[in-house]
Amino acid sequence: MSWGWGEGVPQDAIYWNMICERKGLYTCFPSGRVINAGKSQHNEDQACCEVVFVEQRPSPRGRLPSREGSGELDGGKKGFYFHYWALFDGHAGSGAAVMASQRLHLHICEQLRDLVEILQDPSPPPICLPHGAKTGPADPNHMSYTEDCGEVPNDAAPRFHLEKAVSHESLVIGAIENAFKHMDDQIERERASQHLAGGCCALAAIYLMGKFYVANAGDSRAIIIRNGEIIPMSREFTPETERQRLQFLALLRPELLGKEFTHLEFPRRIQPKELGKKMLYRDQNMNGWAYKKIEEDDLKFPLIFGEGKKARMMATIGVTRGLGDHDLKVFSSNIHIKPFLSCFPEVRVYDLTQYEHCPDDVLVLGTDGLWDVTNDKEVAGVVMEVLTSYEPNDPCRYTMVAQELVVRSRGVLKERGWRLANDKLGSGDDISVFVIPLGGPGNYT
């Protein structure tokens, strides 16, 4: 079931299809991927697809009494499975992307291990756990999850009227968010010994207990196509979409700019001779633009500069979330990018049980190599076109969609470079695509 590869995959095209049987269920993980570097010797996109077992951590107070429906498996191990797909779009080397593709799901697993019993209990998660607890209250039959913290007898327990209800779903989101942080910390710790170069955007889909959790840090994107309708499952984190967060941080921590940058945004570089004139600008509070008199300080390079795919933070990087990049600095300076570059993902949730899905409903994950040249509507068109040309129970059909999406976004090599069907320039970037059936030949129970 496990799948991966070592550092640096040679320039080539790879398609794969994975079918797994587990507990008599038939589950399908099709996907397609092509490597067309050009920019670098190796493909910097990496991917991972796994079914991961989350085993409950042994209780420090000894083994807990088994509870009905608490997920005890045949082998006596308590836990649950999650399904996992992830894309890692590396830059400045494939090291961070390779490590993240090998480890992120293990960090997610690790974060979830403490929650096994809590997630399997339909009652609300406990706000407070007793001393030394790892999996919830030591004896759940004897405790009120929400009010008792172990020492106070139940009848004397204080009542907290202003207590916020926390859902199981938000615990999973928190676990994924912290897993990204731990992944980033591991890359930081091991980057020297493991020679981990660069950084990567990360996009992961986790299927757990009836819900898809799509976590995104970077400019990869995910959409669901359901009954022809497009449902965005991520947003991109770029200098443009995160401008106000970055400007706010720069305003409060000007020392991070090393006297080289201004937190204000201007529509273009200002020339010294323009001092005293009025220039359009916007600050961390503004979405609109206004004129201001140009002062000495405004002659510095803007923290955010450029537009669209060319927008850069500190003239260095085009994404504002991702893993790695701990050594990345502004060219020929000692100014670090990292405090501005955040490793935290945004997690969106899609409840699979809220809708009856047909075999043509899919979740598509793609790196920017796909989305730069193929928009949502075009992707939905390819999905429908390819799927209808295969039998609904043919597990290959999703792989063929992924392959078609990649091939069409790459284009055909002509005299004037790689060209799409409409003669526009094809994607010069690495392209990776997962096409995940939501109501396909198998299911995720």
CA angle 315, 317, 322 (to 5 degrees): 155
Residue in 16, 26, 344, 390 binding a second copy, rule: CB under 8 A? 344
Residue in 114, 148, 188, 236 binding a second copy, rule: CB under 8 A? 114
CA–CA separation, 437 vs 83, rounded Å?
12
Residues 436 and 362: beta-carbon distance below 8 Å: yes
Instruction: For residue 142, state whether it binds a second copy (rule: CB under 8 A).
Output: no
Instruction: For residue 173, state whether it binds a second copy (rule: CB under 8 A).
Output: yes
| Stretch of 41-49, 73-81, 338-346, 400-408 lying at the interface with a second copy (CB under 8 A) | 338-346
CA–CA separation, 96 vs 88, rounded Å?
9
Sign, CA dihedral 208-211-217-220, equals positive
Tell the smallest beta-carbon distance from residue 266 to a second copy (Å). Answer: 8
Count of residues near a second copy by CB under 8 A: 62
Structure tokens at 288: 């609109």
Tell the smallest beta-carbon distance from residue 286 to a second copy (Å). Answer: 5
Tell the smallest beta-carbon distance from residue 362 to a second copy (Å). Answer: 25
Instruction: For residue 122, state whether it binds a second copy (rule: CB under 8 A).
Output: no
Tell the smallest beta-carbon distance from residue 350 to a second copy (Å). Answer: 15
CA angle 45, 49, 53 (to 5 degrees): 140
> b/e for 368-387, b at 16 or more Cβ within 10 A?
bbbbbbbeeebbbebbeebb
Instruction: For residue 60, state whether it binds a second copy (rule: CB under 8 A).
Output: no
Instruction: For residue 77, state whether it binds a second copy (rule: CB under 8 A).
Output: no
For residue 39, give the nearest of 411, 316, 413, 428 by alpha carbon.
Answer: 428
Q: Name residues contacting a second copy, limited to 174-203 (CB under 8 A).
A: 174-178, 181
In the bound state with a second copy, the residue whose beta carbon lies nearer, of 13 and 275, is 275
How many Cβ atoms are within 10 Å of 295's Cβ, its own excluded? 11
Q: What is the largest CA-CA distance in the chain?
A: 82
Residue in 127, 230, 231, 420 binding a second copy, rule: CB under 8 A? 127
CA–CA separation, 179 vs 196, rounded Å?
19
Instruction: For residue 235, state whether it binds a second copy (rule: CB under 8 A).
Output: no
Tell the smallest beta-carbon distance from residue 158 to a second copy (Å). Answer: 7
How many Cβ atoms are within 10 Å of 286's Cβ, its own excluded? 14
Residue in 14, 19, 63, 274 binding a second copy, rule: CB under 8 A? 274
How many Cβ atoms are within 10 Å of 241's Cβ, its own excluded? 15
> How buried is 67 (Cβ within 10 angstroms: 0-12 exposed, 13-18 middle, 19+ buried)?
middle
CA–CA separation, 188 vs 322, rounded Å?
13
| Stretch of 54-62, 81-89, 344-352, 372-380 lying at the interface with a second copy (CB under 8 A) | 344-352
Instruction: For residue 129, state whether it binds a second copy (rule: CB under 8 A).
Output: yes
Instruction: For residue 290, state whether it binds a second copy (rule: CB under 8 A).
Output: yes
In the bound state with a second copy, the residue whose beta carbon lies nearer, of 49 and 204, is 204
CA–CA separation, 325 vs 199, rounded Å?
5
Instruction: For residue 144, state whether it binds a second copy (rule: CB under 8 A).
Output: no
Residue in 37, 92, 106, 171 binding a second copy, rule: CB under 8 A? 171
CA distances from 110 to 72, 204, 345 (A): 18, 16, 17
Structure tokens at 76: 């006596």
Residue in 20, 92, 149, 396 binding a second copy, rule: CB under 8 A? 149
CA–CA separation, 290 vs 292, rounded Å?
7
In the bound state with a second copy, the residue whose beta carbon lies nearer, of 159 and 377, is 159
Tell the smallest beta-carbon distance from residue 288 to a second copy (Å). Answer: 3
Instruction: For residue 111, state whether it binds a second copy (rule: CB under 8 A).
Output: yes
Instruction: For residue 291, state whether it binds a second copy (rule: CB under 8 A).
Output: yes
Residues 185 and 226: beta-carbon distance below 8 Å: no
Instruction: For residue 10, state whether it binds a second copy (rule: CB under 8 A).
Output: no
In the bound state with a second copy, the residue whose beta carbon lies nearer, of 7 and 169, is 169
> Which helix H or strand E contains 412, and what residues bound it?
strand 412-414
Residue in 71, 258, 306, 428 binding a second copy, rule: CB under 8 A? 306
Sites of contact with a second copy (CB under 8 A): 111, 114, 125, 127-131, 133, 149-151, 158, 160, 162-166, 170-178, 181, 245, 248-249, 252-253, 267-271, 273-274, 276-280, 282, 285-291, 305-307, 310, 342, 344, 346-347
